[in-house]
Chains A and B, each alone.
Chain A
Amino acid sequence: MNTLFGNFFKKANTGFWPVLIALAFLLIGTFSVYQSPRSLAAFLILMSTPLILYFMKMNMKVKVFIGLMLIVIILPVLGIRNIFYLEVIFQMAVFAALALGLNIVIGMAGLLDLGYVAFYAVGAYSWAIFGSKQLSLLYSVPGAAPADAPFALDPRWFWLFLFLGVGLAAITGILLGLPVLRLKGDYLAIVTLGFGEVIRVLALNLDKPINLTNGPQGITPIQRPPLPPESILQFFRDILEPFVGHVPTDAEFYNVFFYFLALIIIAIAILVATRLEDSRIGRAWTAIREDETAAIAMGIPLVKMKLAAFAAGASFAGAMGALYAANRTFVSPETFSFLQSIGVLTMVILGGLGSIPGVIFGAAAVVLLNIQILQNFSLYLSELRQSDAVIPIINFAWKDLSNQLDPAKYQKLVFGLILILMMIFRPSGLIPAERRKRELVEEKE
């Protein structure tokens, strides 16, 4: 069975077949999502196009062209047509950037960071505090804020804070790293976990003595950077109207705008990560990951390199945090729970430690699983519950199924299972890193 499929794959992977298959998936996917915006299968077909692009042999230029078509044109247009997909692809982009950052820390340098979301929180709260009315409310009790308090800064300051978020998160990473990086893997895991909790508890409780974070209620509204000028928007409105069936609203433009911002950050993240991978620093990280003692013996400045990994990983989270705060116009401590850290870890593990395409795939897969597949499954179960259907052999009526069985609420179970199964059966991930592939090839010879 396996060889049959393998042969088939080999045959399909020659000549112009790959291009045809990729285009077919792209077109069928686009068409079916366009026709039935609620269908999960249609969206899955469309989202498997990047996988085909990655796995099949074709001209690099063609690959890039098809990929850009999908990411830059098709997804945003479909997203405006059905606002839900815009949310899905935005979340994919955010988590892909987070996973890329965590991948530097865990995958490249081998430091298990269980509090990664803390850096995300630092980025988010830095813009949340300065980009909202919070600075004028420092001395008021949460919940009893005067309605006419002014915003502290002009929304255009967001661009500065995008960079400040990077810097602040990197500094936080270094501050955390300085004391704990002497520790080996398992202690480091616990300390970073603790640090993540510390940041969350601080966000939860710093509404007194001065009201910095507004406590559990979170900060809202947070300003968004201004959209491009009206003339450009009008141009897009005219173009998009026939395709999406209605005049795109400003809210939809904002979502597309943030999606593209996230894409730019991902592009930078990919660029930095790939350049780092085979650079001096990247090789030093690999050496530290494989054998710390040997790395020291080779003259690698251990603490400096570990700090660099922490800071580099943290900075992506910082940028994404600021972006997230502006997109949601709301931050609250619950966004930055331990579950989120483990979610990002699951993405990295699922895709493949140290593998850049792997972690992006992992992020996309987990987000899809989380907000689409599990939700759909829940809906399906509740439909079954309302029907008169019976499971044939054991004679169990769906009606009797407890309504506590709601797969969408059991993220932890799914994350946990993914982590355990991946570790036991495929510790290098679904799309293993180039380096591990190289290692495997060498072993075979």
Chain B
Amino acid sequence: MKSITENPVYKFLLFPIGQILIFALGASVVLSLVTVLLAFIFKFNVTDFDLVERTMLILPQVVINGVTIGFVYATIALGYTMVYGVLEFINFSHSEIFMVGGIVGIQLMAYFEHIGTLATMNEYLVIALAIILAMVVSGSLAVVVERLAYKPLRGAPKLVPLISAIGMSFFLQDIVRLILSLTTGEFNVILPKFGTFDEFWKLAVPGMEDPLRIQIKSAIMVGVAVLMLVGLNYLVNGTKVGKAIRAVAQDRPSASLMGINVNQIISITFLVGGTLGGAAGVLFALKATKLDPFSGFFPGLKAFTSAVLGGIGNLTGALLGGLVLGLLESFAASYLGIFTNGAFGAEYKDIFAFAILILVLIFRPSGLLGQTVGQKA
């Protein structure tokens, strides 16, 4: 038995992928059941059509959307949760790091379109290049931000770096806007059209009239996110650097006494978080197709909510939190309007995340899985 758990293929490939699958399936099934139950309860409220039937009809699509966006949230949330684990500090500007990644990715594709090679290039290669460039840029930006705005404040009261991070977040938003408007004359960036990503794979499911439609984009988003998560899992649990990160998170002074270069490890943490954020930015851009310097704000907040929901400082928790939040949001956006007969609609989905955050913090401040880093009084 021991030999299986020690086997690296199992430990770093099968186990995490299995875990991700279980989380995604589990969260989807639980939330679907709750929704169907709610549909039965709210049936009296809707007279125009059969609520249960309508609910069942759109359910698969809602779940797919939720899981897709959930993986993006989870990838961003890892950046928050890693930094929190190491420094006990909310890296407010992470949402802007994510936004920069998305914009850089789109700009690269726009550049390919500009020089005329976009149509002839392999579409997957384009996306891979965009993601890699975004990872490099976002990762370096995160390290620079840490050096400039957070490092001088280490050891200061907690509010001080937090306020600096808020300032950095605002500063980055407008600096990106300034650069974009000075170079292109406009600060909205739009994903160029290429490839076949908007098309659907149709999967015939026995027992259903319509085939299940999965957009190729969604599959790419999920695939890349899973790759990132597995890679991160290996980095943190399978390498020497990962061990050092965990040691610094657990006890900084002792780690430094053991010969770990704490400053370097903190930089690496920001680098890893930023890299993940950059990749998530490109994935988000694929879905949103249009970004501006302020579009990092809400996804960033939701990713933070995911991190808290799962238990901040806990990497597995961030994954679960992201999936649950993505699904919840997708359900809220699709069903709130139907269930309340149009009184409330999808426009409340952005504040839905906050409602969940507040509820979690009241009833379970350490999050769903949080035992790693609780709130230290």
Q: Which residues of B contact A (CB under 8 A)?
A: 89-90, 148-149, 152-153, 156, 158-164, 166-175, 177-178, 181-182, 185, 297, 301, 304, 308, 342-344, 347-348, 350-351, 353-355, 357-358, 361-362, 365, 375, 377
Contact partner of B159 (CB less than 8 A), chosen from A112, A190, A193, A201, is: A112
Q: Look across to chain A and name the residue whose beta carbon is closest to the beta carbon of B297.
A: A338
A205 to B347, Cβ gap below 8 A? yes
Chain B nearest Cβ from A427, distance in angstroms: 5
* Nearest 10 A/B pairs, CB to CB: A419-B167, A416-B171, A194-B354, A416-B170, A413-B174, A404-B181, A423-B164, A420-B167, A412-B174, A209-B343
Q: Look across to chain A and name the residue whose beta carbon is closest to the beta carbon of B312.
A: A187
Q: Is A18 an interface residue (CB 8 A)?
A: no
A193 to B174, Cβ gap below 8 A? no
A197 to B350, Cβ gap below 8 A? yes
Q: How far is the CA of A412 from the CA of B292 in the complex (A)?
A: 15
Q: Look across to chain A and name the residue whose beta carbon is closest to the beta carbon of B149.
A: A420
Contact partner of A187 (CB less than 8 A), chosen from B156, B169, B175, B375, is: B375
Chain A nearest Cβ from B42, distance in angstroms: 15
B162 to A185, Cβ gap below 8 A? yes
A402 to B182, Cβ gap below 8 A? yes
What 1/0 flags go to A185-222 for Cβ under 8 Å of B? 11101110111011001101100110000000000000
Q: Look across to chain A and name the residue whose beta carbon is closest to the beta carbon of B148.
A: A420
Tell me the number of A-to-B contacts counted with CB atoms below 8 Å: 139
Q: Is A232 an interface residue (CB 8 A)?
A: no
A413 to B170, Cβ gap below 8 A? yes
Q: Look across to chain B and name the residue whose beta carbon is closest to the beta carbon of A413.
A: B174
9 contacts between A and B (CB under 8 A): A179-B358, A185-B158, A186-B162, A194-B351, A404-B178, A410-B177, A423-B153, A423-B164, A423-B167
Given contacts A194-B301, A420-B149, A427-B160, contact A201 B348 (CB under 8 A): yes
Q: Look across to chain A and name the residue whose beta carbon is closest to the beta carbon of B353.
A: A194
What 1/0 flags go to A105-117 for Cβ under 8 Å of B? 0100010101000
B362 to A424, Cβ gap below 8 A? no
A191 to B357, Cβ gap below 8 A? yes
A349 to B304, Cβ gap below 8 A? no
B90 to A342, Cβ gap below 8 A? no
Contact partner of B377 (CB less than 8 A), chosen from A180, A293, A338, A402, is: A293
Chain A nearest Cβ from B82, distance in angstroms: 15
B89 / chain A contacts, CB cutoff of 8 Å? 186
B159 to A413, Cβ gap below 8 A? no
Q: Look across to chain B and name the residue whose beta carbon is closest to the beta carbon of A410.
A: B174
Contact partner of A413 (CB less than 8 A), chosen from B152, B171, B353, is: B171
Q: Look across to chain B and name the residue whose beta carbon is closest to the beta carbon of A418.
A: B167
Given contacts A208-B343, A402-B182, contact A419 B90 (CB under 8 A): no
Q: Is A334 an interface residue (CB 8 A)?
A: no
What 1/0 flags go to A380-416 for Cβ under 8 Å of B? 0000000000000000000000101100001111011
What 1/0 flags go to A338-349 for Cβ under 8 Å of B? 100010010001
B361 / chain A contacts, CB cutoff of 8 Å? 179-180, 183, 187, 191
Given contacts A186-B89, A404-B185, A410-B178, contact A423 B160 (CB under 8 A): yes
Interface centre among A110, A114, A186 (most CB of B within 10 A): A186
Q: Is A182 an interface residue (CB 8 A)?
A: yes
Interface centre among B167, B173, B348 (most CB of A within 10 A): B167
Known pairs A404-B178, A415-B167, A427-B160; list 15 more (Cβ under 8 Å).
Answer: A112-B159, A180-B361, A186-B89, A190-B304, A194-B353, A195-B358, A197-B351, A197-B354, A404-B181, A404-B185, A415-B170, A416-B171, A416-B172, A419-B164, A420-B148
Q: Is A246 an interface residue (CB 8 A)?
A: no
A185 / chain B contacts, CB cutoff of 8 Å? 158-159, 162
Q: Is A252 an interface residue (CB 8 A)?
A: no
A404 / chain B contacts, CB cutoff of 8 Å? 178, 181-182, 185
Q: Is A87 an interface residue (CB 8 A)?
A: no
B358 / chain A contacts, CB cutoff of 8 Å? 179-180, 191, 194-195
Chain B nearest Cβ from A193, distance in angstroms: 7
Tell me the residues in window 411-445 of chain A with beta carbons closer than 8 Å to chain B beta carbons. 411-413, 415-420, 423-424, 427
Q: Is A11 an interface residue (CB 8 A)?
A: no
Interface centre among B159, B182, B353, B377 (most CB of A within 10 A): B159
Chain A nearest Cβ from B180, distance in angstroms: 9
A417 / chain B contacts, CB cutoff of 8 Å? 167, 171
What 1/0 flags go to A151-184 for Cβ under 8 Å of B? 0000000000000000000000000000110111
Chain B nearest Cβ from A418, distance in angstroms: 7
Contact partner of B164 (CB less than 8 A), chosen from A179, A345, A424, is: A424
Q: How far is the CA of A202 from the CA of B149 in the complex (A)?
A: 34
Chain B nearest Cβ from A433, distance in angstroms: 14
Contact partner of A420 (CB less than 8 A), chosen from B171, B174, B185, B304, is: B171
Q: How far is the CA of A59 from the CA of B148 in the complex (A)?
A: 45
Q: How far is the CA of A369 from the CA of B158 in the complex (A)?
A: 29
Chain B nearest Cβ from A435, distance in angstroms: 14
Chain B nearest Cβ from A410, distance in angstroms: 5
Contact partner of B170 (CB less than 8 A), chosen from A106, A194, A419, is: A419
Q: Look across to chain B and name the residue whose beta carbon is closest to the beta carbon of A405.
A: B182
Q: How far is the CA of A187 from the CA of B159 in the complex (A)?
A: 11
Q: How far is the CA of A415 from the CA of B343 in the complex (A)?
A: 38
B351 to A201, Cβ gap below 8 A? yes
Q: Look across to chain A and name the residue whose beta carbon is closest to the beta carbon of B341.
A: A209
Contact partner of A412 (CB less than 8 A), chosen from B156, B170, B342, is: B170
Q: How far is the CA of A110 from the CA of B163 in the complex (A)?
A: 12
B90 to A190, Cβ gap below 8 A? yes
Q: How far is the CA of A402 from the CA of B184 in the complex (A)?
A: 10
Chain B nearest Cβ from A236, distance in angstroms: 43
A423 to B161, Cβ gap below 8 A? yes
Q: Look across to chain B and name the residue whose beta carbon is closest to the beta carbon of A189.
A: B162
Q: How far is the CA of A209 from the CA of B341 in the complex (A)?
A: 10
B163 to A112, Cβ gap below 8 A? yes
A182 / chain B contacts, CB cutoff of 8 Å? 362, 365
Interface centre among A180, A201, A405, A420 (most CB of B within 10 A): A420
Chain A nearest Cβ from B230, distance in angstroms: 29
Interface centre among B148, B160, B297 (most CB of A within 10 A): B160
B166 to A402, Cβ gap below 8 A? no
A338 / chain B contacts, CB cutoff of 8 Å? 297
Q: Look across to chain B and name the residue whose beta carbon is closest to the beta carbon of A201.
A: B351
B178 / chain A contacts, CB cutoff of 8 Å? 404-405, 410, 413
A179 to B362, Cβ gap below 8 A? yes
B301 / chain A contacts, CB cutoff of 8 Å? 190, 193-194
Chain A nearest Cβ from B105, distance in angstroms: 23
B354 to A416, Cβ gap below 8 A? no
B152 to A114, Cβ gap below 8 A? no
A342 to B354, Cβ gap below 8 A? no
Q: Look across to chain A and name the residue whose beta carbon is closest to the beta carbon of B359.
A: A179
Chain B nearest Cβ from A440, distance in angstroms: 16
Q: Look across to chain B and name the residue whose beta carbon is closest to the beta carbon of A411.
A: B174
A184 to B375, Cβ gap below 8 A? yes
Q: How far is the CA of A209 from the CA of B336 in the complex (A)?
A: 13
